[in-house]
Chains A and B, each alone.
Chain A
């Protein structure tokens, strides 16, 4: 899937500015970002659900705008919502969604149910399913036509750990079958665990793209986090003369340019006290913090 100059405006509000992104065949690409970053809008445009204001989307060479049916037949969308008919059985749901793709072979439906571990619950109405089972069926409904590209939009929201693990296993097994997957999430650890590459979005812009190692190496830095008391704002300003500083309340993340000593001196000189020093291993979370100035959990909540 190739996105070129893709953007969406809602009136005066720019939801996605101008996005260039290539999803490589066979990879799992994680799309990470806080609420309102533009992830779902990007996915919706990529799947032909929302018409872009600008730019193009091509899937396996088919332009979504000009040749929508050919492009859409290559992809399966698993929306963030539980997009199922509660009063129908799992089997009836998959039969209907399969019919939209001209899939009528019962073996395909049985396969999709088997992949998500619901083969023995096929005849039960969805309203009797647990939240985790519904999430899994939601994935099966996007899989029933065996797409080449599967787009999973926050597939683990509100599920128990057991179902979450099952979903992870499903995603891994699909990748092993050669399926290309775009996986959006609020959960950093999910993206770290599953994805080959990660795209980070904020305020409608793609701010970083690369493998986990590349992102951490390039953006995570080697800083420490200080918990301050006293005039934290003045201390952060003073520290900025010697380091890159990002602040969340009393927590100030410091990436010193010339050692930690001048930074500590500047903070104490500004009348603040250091209550705690925390040094964390560089990971995707620290990279995200460095890129956006915010912790993902805080902004996603």
Chain B
């Protein structure tokens, strides 16, 4: 029992230090980049006395460590400050932008893992075969083609030419003010309100960018699945299973994949975390008001409260998903239970 407390304690300490380190690094980088944060607020035309006053209001004339200390103590009280660009409290901005990214990333990872894993298994089973080659080429394209180019091509083909999907943005203007948003997840909001035409519209806006993100994670996930599976299929227990006369299907899906799942969970979780960070280029091309665009735009304007708030969220996502994959490890791998 005592040991359990101790491990929980050290675990919390690690998390606390992670956050502190994350914030400190972001804060100091944000302060040394050669951009004057006052400029973002008052613009290029402001008289000198206005600039000086705003600099003071922001506390920028104080020493760096003191600025950081003030920021930290406010964060501990739950005050993440106000974004100078949007005039809103940072957390309110994140509550608005993050759901847009979550919706996109979740559908993206469902596509990525849903297709990537079976594809990777198949490539491993028929190593050197046609599917294996296709997976390799897809992986190569996924790594080398710029995502904004692929995004634009996707828009030209599926939106402009074929008209299969809706265009950039999250929802048509027609629904913009008829759909009441509660959660910020438009699919959920539309479903809750029973507005199925709006639901379809949101989905048709979502599908193209999500497929694009899905494709990029698919490229990675299928390659990793393939190599994990190759590793498992070469193990002795596979030979033993074959010798026992188990069906090939059972060997691959029940035995080999089950073992490959353990490292695979981490790969999928980290891919998901990467998507949740928000893909700036995808969000730009698709005019998607998500977290990636928010953080990037804030960084370019040295809007540090917003950048730090965003960093905390992205950090939490990584920490949370790491924890989740650790928990899944325990469920998937019986050996870890005994430790």
A joins B in a complex = no
Give me the interface of A with B, judged by CB distance under 8 Å.
none
Give me the interface of B with A, judged by CB distance under 8 Å.
none
